[in-house]
């Protein structure tokens, strides 16, 4: 198990290494070396200023030197400073992270409950009217782009409600949990629902398929013929193994989300990692973009490791590979 863990962590480190190379190539080599210095110096900078900045950023050195410098800063937790606010990128990340996390965790709990329950209902009552309703709803929300759902929810539950004097949910923004827990909750309800409904649909389909597979297994028939109650067979025996693919998908999705729910945050104007990244891209604020891309990749890598380890604990065969 320890060897498996070490191998998995090493692989994760390798992925992160590749990510830093890709990020470096995209941002430091892609647009041409002069562009970075020019952007930094501003439009009215003299060629001399540009050359100076270029020199200070090591842009006139060979690529490998530049890359090691970049990696060195990264490993020391130094991600540079935002061009616009003069803030350290780490500070920007620290401010945005709790917002993204509040959004991601709340939505994740919602969609897991909705997705798994509806999937089980659909599989157990296969071919019934419930199965049909669930399948149709799942297909509908599975096809729904999150920004469409978010904006339609805003139109109905923010704007139409406000027209009728009901001010239940804010239209945009984020209140810190520590500042006002009630406002924090109110502000998150619509984003949670948006993210949860769109994601739950995939889980409904996954759970249904996996549950139908498992219900055909011999050990389920054995459990039934032992005289166990149907509920016990379904929830204790079948669901348990049907959940394995669901859990692994869940880990990966949560990892991606922890790197910023780009669309949902943009729709609801929540300054989490995703929205900050979109704004940074609009402003060409390179250090901030790089910081967010790296944090986001790291959270996916960590989520992958956690999922694999979890899998290995559940199913010893995995460790052999």
Partner 1 sequence: MSMSPSDSVAIEDALVASGVPPPEGAAASVIEGRSPWRLAYERLRRDRASLIALAVVVVIILVAIFAPVIASLTGHGVYQQFRDTGLTPDGLPVGPNHQFLLGTDDQGRDILVRIAYGARISLIVGVVATAAEVVLGTVLGLAAGYFGKVVDTVIARIIDIVLSIPFLLFAISLVSISHPSLTIVIVVIAIFGWAAVARVVRGQVLSLREKEYIEAARALGAGPWRIMFIDILPNIVAPIIVYATLLIPVTIVIEASLSYLGVGVPPPTADWGTMISGAQQIYQQAWWYLLFPSLALLITTVAFNIFGDGLRDALDPRAEQLYK
Which positions touch partner 1 (CB under 8 A)? 11, 15, 18-19, 22, 26-27, 30-31, 127, 139-140, 142-145, 147-148, 151-152, 154-155, 159, 209, 212-213, 256, 259-260, 262-263, 266-267, 274, 277-278, 281-282, 284, 289, 292-293, 296-297, 300-301, 304
**What is 9-55 written as a DSSP string?**
HHHHHHHHHHHHHHHHIIIIITT-HHHHHHHHH-TT--HHHHHHHHH
- For residues 47 and 145, which CB has a smaller minimum distance to partner 1 in the complex? 145
Query: Would you state the structure tokens that stand for residue 175, as one six-digit string?
Result: 């209140």
In the complex, the smallest distance separating the C-beta of residue 189 from partner 1, rounded to whole angstroms, is 19
- For residues 19 and 117, which CB has a smaller minimum distance to partner 1 in the complex? 19
In the complex, the smallest distance separating the C-beta of residue 45 from partner 1, rounded to whole angstroms, is 20
In the complex, the smallest distance separating the C-beta of residue 180 from partner 1, rounded to whole angstroms, is 25
In the complex, the smallest distance separating the C-beta of residue 292 from partner 1, rounded to whole angstroms, is 7
Burial per residue of 307-319, b for 16 or more beta-carbon CB atoms within 10 angstroms, e otherwise: bbbebbeeeeeeb
- For residues 196 and 301, which CB has a smaller minimum distance to partner 1 in the complex? 301
- For residues 101 and 228, which CB has a smaller minimum distance to partner 1 in the complex? 101
In the complex, the smallest distance separating the C-beta of residue 264 from partner 1, rounded to whole angstroms, is 11
Q: How many Cα neighbours within 13 Å face the side chain of 306?
A: 14
CA 213 to the chain's CA centroid = 29
- For residues 119 and 259, which CB has a smaller minimum distance to partner 1 in the complex? 259
Query: How many residues are recorded in the chain?
Result: 321
């Amino acid at each position: 198990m320890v060897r498996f863990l070490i191998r998995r962590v090493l692989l994760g480190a390798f992925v992160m290494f590749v990510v830093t190379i890709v990020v470096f190539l995209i941002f430091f080599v892609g647009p041409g070396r002069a562009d970075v210095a020019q952007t930094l110096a501003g439009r009215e900078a003299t060629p001399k200023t540009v050359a100076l900045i270029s020199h200070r950023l090591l842009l006139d050195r060979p690529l490998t030197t530049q890359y090691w410098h970049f990696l060195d800063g990264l490993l020391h937790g130094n991600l540079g400073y935002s061009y616009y606010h003069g803030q350290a990128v780490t500070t920007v990340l620290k401010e945005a992270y709790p917002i993204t996390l509040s959004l991601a965790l709340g939505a994740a709990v919602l969609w897991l409950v909705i997705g798994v329950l509806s999937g089980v209902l659909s599989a157990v009552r296969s071919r019934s009217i419930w199965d049909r309703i669930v399948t149709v709803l799942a297909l509908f929300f599975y096809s729904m782009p999150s920004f469409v759902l978010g904006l339609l929810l805003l139109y109905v539950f923010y704007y139409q409600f406000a027209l009728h004097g009901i001010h239940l949910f804010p239209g945009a923004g984020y209140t810190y949990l520590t500042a006002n827990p009630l406002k924090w909750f109110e502000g998150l309800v619509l984003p949670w629902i948006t993210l949860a409904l769109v994601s739950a649909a995939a889980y409904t389909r996954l759970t249904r398929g996996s549950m139908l597979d498992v219900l055909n297994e011999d050990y389920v028939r054995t459990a039934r013929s032992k005289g166990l109650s149907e509920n016990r067979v379904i929830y204790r025996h079948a669901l348990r193994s049907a959940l394995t693919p669901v859990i692994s998908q869940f880990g990966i999705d949560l990892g991606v989300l922890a790197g910023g729910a780009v669309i949902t945050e943009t729709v609801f104007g929540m300054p989490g990692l995703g929205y900050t990244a979109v704004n940074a891209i609009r402003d060409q604020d390179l250090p901030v973009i790089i910081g967010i891309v790296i944090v986001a990749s790291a959270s996916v890598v960590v989520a992958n490791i956690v999922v694999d380890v979890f899998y290995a604990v559940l199913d010893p065969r995995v460790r052999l590979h």
